[in-house]
Amino acid sequence: MSERLQGEELVALIERVFQPRATDTGIAVLVDLPDAAVADHPRWQARREMAAGWVEELAGQGAACPLPVSLWLYPNVRTNNGDLP
């Protein structure tokens, strides 16, 4: 068993968990970025790579993916559950 979700698995996850509706316009995968105050580390880099991989896998599913998908990057807010910029 792979630890990485494949495109079909991600599509199934989105459909089961989020149940996209006709009024939904897209899927955004959000990742925060390191800065001078909070240095990067291997686990953080791995999470960014995982998020980019999800976007790539979903985009590769074509019409099977219920919505367009995009990767959004934002400055880290330096706290868990902090307000996004």
Tens digits of residue pLDDT in 23-34: 999 999 999 999
| 7 neighbors 55 (Cβ within 8 angstroms) | no
pTM of the model: 0.87
**pLDDT over threshold 80, residue 13:** yes
What's the angle, vertex CA 61, arms to CA 59 and CA 62, rounded to 5?
Answer: 80
Nearest C-alpha neighbor of 33 from the set 56, 59, 55, 51: 51
**pLDDT over threshold 80, residue 74:** yes
In the predicted model, what is the mean pLDDT of residues 3-10?
Answer: 93
Indicate the pLDDT class of residue 79, thresholds 50, 70 and 90. Answer: confident
| 52 neighbors 5 (Cβ within 8 angstroms) | no
**pLDDT over threshold 90, residue 61:** yes
